Amino acid sequence: MTQAAALLPETLAEEPRAPRGRGGIVPVLAFAGIVVAVMQTLLVPVIKDLPTLLSTAPSNATWVMTATLLAGAIATPIMGRLGDLYGKRRMLLVSLSVMVIGSLICGFTDNLLIMIVGRALQGFAMGAIPLGIGIMRDELPREKLGSAMALMSSSIGVGGGLALPAAALVAQHADWHALFFGAAGLGVISMVLTLVFVPESSTRARGSFDTLGALGLSAGLVCLLLPITKGSDWGWTSGTTLGLFAGALAILLLWGVMELRIAAPLVDLRTTARREVLLTNLSSIMVGVAFYAISLVLPQLLQLPKATGYGLGQSMVVAGLCVAPLGLTMMLTAPVYARIAAKYGPKVSLMIGMLIIAIGYGAGLALMSAPWQTIIISVVVGAGIGLAYSSLPALIIGAVDPSETGAANGLNTLMRSIGTSVSSAVIGMVLAHSSVAAGPVSVPSMSGFRTSFMIATGAVVIGLVFAAFLPSRKRTAAPARPVATSEGSAAAVAEATEILQDAALHDAQDRSFSEFRGFRGRVLDADGTPVPRATVTLIDQRGRQSGIVVADGAGAFALAARTAGAYILAVTAPGRPPLATHVAYTSVDELVAVDLRLGATVPERAAR
């Protein structure tokens, strides 16, 4: 027992906690995601009035929107890494509390700079999305994980879509600052629900927080987005614009080199460079660009007066209701995603989603002359974004170790946030500089709206190309003859393999392991009874933790092995002696099925 315990990392040698009630985890985390996403579209109903409300130029008012998205882009990998190190629930509560503080700051000011600071603090809560996905991965049984993560991922769009009519109703019948007080109230409710229903994850990563990496990423993104927003005012060939672009390139390159050299980077760029992770993240940027375009264009088109010749003359509330199907459709596509991914894999569902988005925006170029046409655009684009967003976490989690879940999903959400930030900056600039005079004020032109839709269409087509090069799902090979080490072991391995294959057919998340290579199996008692929620740790030949996972209710587990060699599988479970056993992984194309019997001297194995 002492020898087995010594093989485990110090933080993992303790017995895992007994399972807690988990019935409230999914709805509470999804609600937190929706609350955070509300921050993105909170001010969309009043976006055309922001220059007047804040006494500033339209290009400056754009930063009230962009600051939230930029802060979200910076916060997602930071909070993902902090969650891996110090606890995902703890960091989720920190994210929500910062959002509440930012909302209160905005609620008491009309000053542009203070408003931008408050909006940036609101955006900091975007880290709640990867944290929520990480908690689900750590706490939920495998059969529920796929649909739960799809719901959490799509909550970004759901919250943004549902916020539009609610925010419009408040802004039309009350002072616009009430929007921020409502946001603060939602944040407090989410914090209370998290404290009551969400357990702290026991999974921890090793290492320390990369402060310099966080500062470098922040500086690089600011230098990139500032000239995009102000380039038309400064001049695209001016020294300031070109200098900031050059500075962004230099900072991000140096940041990348530094991240590759330090032991505990903010972003594991080696993992990021893997084909499936890189292409998924590039696709995520394009989906983010496409998602935010519709939120900026349609509400303004609907509210512009008919006297312009193209405005639809609707109230804030009607405009919000016309765009609300965007979020509702995203929510309804989660079960559709599960069916598609279960049969064809998340790559196919991602490509279908982006194709639908492209069709929606392409049709939208000709469907801007009546409110009912904007509803059609919202429904089609929302369905596509729902499928695309639901597919992303399954693709990412299938390519990384469980201990890297928070950071990997944080990076993926960072890519989406960079997409929405770029979308906000670019489309805000396009609309501001293609505006026409309408009495004493300037309003966006129809050519500006159409240009924005064309940008979104082009982005999603590029994303579709990236997705096409993702590795395709392979058929599950028939299991090879198992090597039995005791009576009944062959039957046990076959049974475990069958259970895993059946679970894969019904679990969208398991489809993310279509390219899975490593160790799979079940944790069993000596009499063959499954041991649920046992902690299984994979340790390489240098004694380093290569992965950790909590087995599901049937005792099943899966751990990826990135390189061939000798490993140790260490198991702990409440009320049972720990087990540490040597296993071999001889080929990077191998899948090793292993039954770990607590109390037995050797595991039951079958390689294929």
The residue among 586 and 103 whose pLDDT is bigger is 103
- Say how many C-beta atoms besides its own lie within 10 A of residue 10's C-beta: 9
Amino acid 406: pLDDT: 54
Is pLDDT above 90 for 590?
no
Query: Is residue 118 in a domain?
Result: yes
Q: Average of pLDDT values for 222-229?
A: 81
Q: Are residues 483 and 562 in the same domain?
A: yes
Query: Is residue 521 in a domain?
Result: yes
Per-residue pLDDT band at 473 (split at 50, 70, 90): low
Is pLDDT above 70 for 528?
yes
CATH number of residue 355's parent domain: 1.20.1250.20
Per-residue pLDDT band at 474 (split at 50, 70, 90): very low
Q: Are residues 434 and 483 in the same domain?
A: no
Q: Are residues 333 and 450 in the same domain?
A: yes
Q: Average of pLDDT values for 227-232?
A: 75
How confident is the model over 265-323, as pLDDT tens digits?
Answer: 777 676 676 778 888 888 888 988 888 788 788 888 888 888 778 788 888 788 878 87
Nearest to 266 by CA among 79, 450, 431, 134: 79
Is pLDDT above 70 for 606?
no
Q: Average of pLDDT values for 580-588?
A: 72
Query: Is residue 436 in a domain?
Result: yes
Angstrom distance (rounded) from CA 265 to CA 209: 8
CB 333 within 8 A of CB 390: yes
Query: Is residue 85 in a domain?
Result: yes
CB 355 within 8 A of CB 384: yes
Q: Which tokens in the block code for residue 552?
A: 């599901």
Q: Average of pLDDT values for 7-15?
A: 36
Amino acid 2: pLDDT: 38
How confident is the model over 414-436, as pLDDT tens digits?
Answer: 777 778 778 877 887 888 777 77
Is pLDDT above 90 for 97?
yes
Q: Are residues 598 and 516 in the same domain?
A: yes
Is pLDDT above 50 for 507?
no
Strands 556-560, 565-573: pairing kind: unpaired
The residue among 335 and 321 whose pLDDT is bigger is 321
Nearest to 432 by CA among 41, 61, 119: 61
CA distances from 267 to 11, 80, 163, 204, 232 (A): 22, 10, 32, 16, 33
Per-residue pLDDT band at 65 (split at 50, 70, 90): confident
Q: Are residues 96 and 202 in the same domain?
A: yes
Per-residue pLDDT band at 543 (split at 50, 70, 90): low
Q: Are residues 271 and 376 in the same domain?
A: yes
What is the pLDDT of the chain when averaged over all its residues? Answer: 76
How does DSSP classify residue 516? -
Angstrom distance (rounded) from CA 527 to CA 556: 16
Q: Are residues 105 and 202 in the same domain?
A: yes
Residue with token string 């203070």: 114
Q: Are residues 323 and 441 in the same domain?
A: yes
Please say whether the dihedral angle defined by the alpha carbons of residues 155, 156, 161 and 166, taken in this order, is positive or negative. Answer: positive
The residue among 20 and 43 whose pLDDT is bigger is 43
Amino acid 250: pLDDT: 94
Q: 606 has which bridge partners?
A: 593
Query: Is residue 362 in a domain?
Result: yes
How confident is the model over 442-469, as pLDDT tens digits?
Answer: 778 888 888 889 999 999 999 999 988 8
Last residue of a domain, one of 427, 442, 468: 468
Amino acid 426: pLDDT: 84
How confident is the model over 371-414, as pLDDT tens digits?
Answer: 888 899 989 998 898 888 778 877 876 666 655 655 566 667 67
Last residue of a domain, one of 468, 497, 530: 468
Q: Can you give the residue range of the structural domain that contains 575?
A: 474-607
Amino acid 465: pLDDT: 92
Is pLDDT above 80 for 201?
no
**The total number of structural domains that make up the chain:** 2
Q: Are residues 437 and 492 in the same domain?
A: no
Amino acid 476: pLDDT: 31
Query: Is residue 228 in a domain?
Result: no
Query: Is residue 229 in a domain?
Result: no
CB-count exposure of residue 294 (10 Å: 0-12, 13-18, 19+):
buried
Q: Are residues 356 and 425 in the same domain?
A: yes
Amino acid 161: pLDDT: 64
Q: Are residues 461 and 548 in the same domain?
A: no
Angstrom distance (rounded) from CA 45 to CA 163: 10
Residues found in the chain: 608
Least confident of 6-10, 342-346, 420-424: 6-10
Is pLDDT above 90 for 230?
no
Q: Average of pLDDT values for 319-334?
A: 78
Q: Are residues 325 and 374 in the same domain?
A: yes
CB 211 within 8 A of CB 44: no
Residue with token string 């009309």: 110
CATH number of residue 525's parent domain: 2.60.40.1120
Angstrom distance (rounded) from CA 292 to CA 70: 13
Total-model pTM = 0.63
Helices (H), 324-370: 325-344, 346-364
Per-residue pLDDT band at 157 (split at 50, 70, 90): low
Is pLDDT above 90 for 206?
no
Select the highest-mean-pLDDT range: 62-76, 88-102, 394-408. 88-102
Query: Is residue 388 in a domain?
Result: yes
Nearest to 23 by CA among 199, 200, 187, 151: 199
Amino acid 419: pLDDT: 83
Last residue of a domain, one of 468, 494, 509: 468
